[in-house]
Amino acid sequence: MSKQRLLYIIPTFGKGGAEHQTLNQVNYLHQHGHDVSLIILSNRTGLKEKLQIPAEKVFFFNNERLRKFGANTFKELSNATSKLKKCFQSIQPDVIISVLPVAHFLTRYTFLRQGKSSKHFAWHRSMQYKAAPNNTLFRKVIHQFNKWLSKKYDDGHFFISEAVKADISKHLPIRNGHVIHNALPTTPLLPDLGKAYLAEHKIDVDYLITIPGRLHPVKGHEFFIESTAEFIKKIGTKKRIKVLILGGGPEYEKLTTLVENTNLSAYYHFSQEIDNALLLSLVFQSNLVVIPSFLEGFGNVVIEGLMLWKNILASKAGGIPEILSKPDIGFLFDVGDSGGLNQQLKRLVVEGIALDPVQLKKHFKDNFTLEAQIEQLLHIIKASN
What confidence category does residue 1 fall into, taking pLDDT thresholds of 50, 70 and 90?
A: very low
Q: Where are the alpha helices (DSSP H) in 244-354?
A: 252-261, 276-285, 300-307, 320-323, 338-345
**CATH 3.40.50.2000 for domain 191-367:** yes
Rounded to an integer, the average pLDDT of 172-201 is 92
CA separation for the pair 209, 320 (Å, rounded):
19
Summarize pLDDT for 302-353 with one digit per residue, the tens: 999 999 999 999 999 988 999 998 888 999 999 999 999 999 999 999 999 9
Domain 191-367 in the same topology as domain 5-185+369-383: yes
DSSP sequence for 126-143: S-HHHHS-S-SHHHHHHH
pLDDT of residue 2: 62
In the DSSP assignment, the letter for residue 52 is -
Average pLDDT of the residues in 351-362: 93
The Cβ-side half-sphere exposure at 47, using a 13 Å CA radius, reads 24
- Round to whole Å and give the CA distance between 43 and 11: 9
Q: Which residues of 113-143 are buried (b: 16+ CB within 10 A; e: fewer)?
A: eeebebbbbbbbbbbbbbeeeeeeeebeebe
- Whether the Cβ atoms of residue 257 and residue 224 lie closer than 8 Å to each other: no
Share the mean pLDDT of the chain: 93
Q: Is 297 helix (H, G, I), strand (E, B) or coil?
A: coil
Q: Is the pLDDT of residue 131 over 50?
A: yes
**pLDDT tens track for 265-300:** 999 999 988 888 899 999 999 999 999 999 888 888
Return the SS3 of 188: coil
The whole-angstrom separation of Cα 128 and Cα 171 is 10
CA distance 98 to 107: 7
The answer to whether the beta carbons of residues 39 and 45 sit under 8 Å apart is no
Burial of 327 (0-12, 13-18, 19+ CB in 10 A): exposed
**For residue 197, how far is the Cα from the chain centroid?**
25
3-state secondary structure of 217: helix
Pairing of strands 35-40, 268-270: unpaired
Other Cβ atoms less than 10 A from the Cβ of 159: the count is 25
Give the helix/strand (H/E) hosting 332: strand 331-333
Question: Which tens digit of pLDDT belongs to each residue from 261-270?
Answer: 999 999 999 9
5-185+369-383, CATH topology level: Rossmann fold (3.40.50)
Tell me the average pLDDT across 354-372: 92
pLDDT interval class at 141 (50, 70, 90): very high
Segments making up each domain of the chain, as ranges: 5-185+369-383, 191-367
